[in-house]
Copies of this chain bind each other. A is one copy, B any other.
């Protein structure tokens, strides 16, 4: 319990992210409930104990936490937004800064290890996305950015 508390505090310090009660609550909830929650679920849950917590703050907190690497956004379900009609196999690269998506040439995966990790589940498709800074942005020609949520 207080173990977790210490761990979280340490995490905030380590990343240099200012710790506010709201951010702490959001992170703590996410750590406690290991499900992959939506912003709305987090809002509802945290709001139940901490009455006046604004929806916008949940989004702010999540942004900040993702930014500093303590939380990872996962694209599930209908959260697609972009489409790709390629019939050839390839992977993707997404730029943290400008959000652009680029195709990468295909490389094979360790299917043995993958099968093991998948357990009994039947796998239809594997999706690999690398995140980082694209070459345009690296060269400082940053156009603009829309931060990821």
**Which residues from chain A sit less than 8 Å from chain B, CB to CB?**
11, 27, 30-31, 34, 36-39, 42, 62, 65-66, 70-87, 91-94, 96, 99, 101, 103-110, 113-114, 116-135, 138, 146, 148-149
Contact = CB atoms under 8 A, between A and B. Distances in A.
A103 B34 contact: yes
Given A65-B83, A66-B83, A107-B113, 12 more contacts: A11-B87, A36-B82, A36-B84, A38-B82, A74-B92, A76-B101, A77-B81, A78-B148, A107-B116, A121-B132, A124-B131, A125-B130
A66 B83 CA distance: 9
A36 to B, nearest CB: 4
B114 A130 contact: yes
Interface residues of chain A: helix, strand, loop or mixed (majority): mixed
A104 B118 contact: yes
Nearest to A72: B84
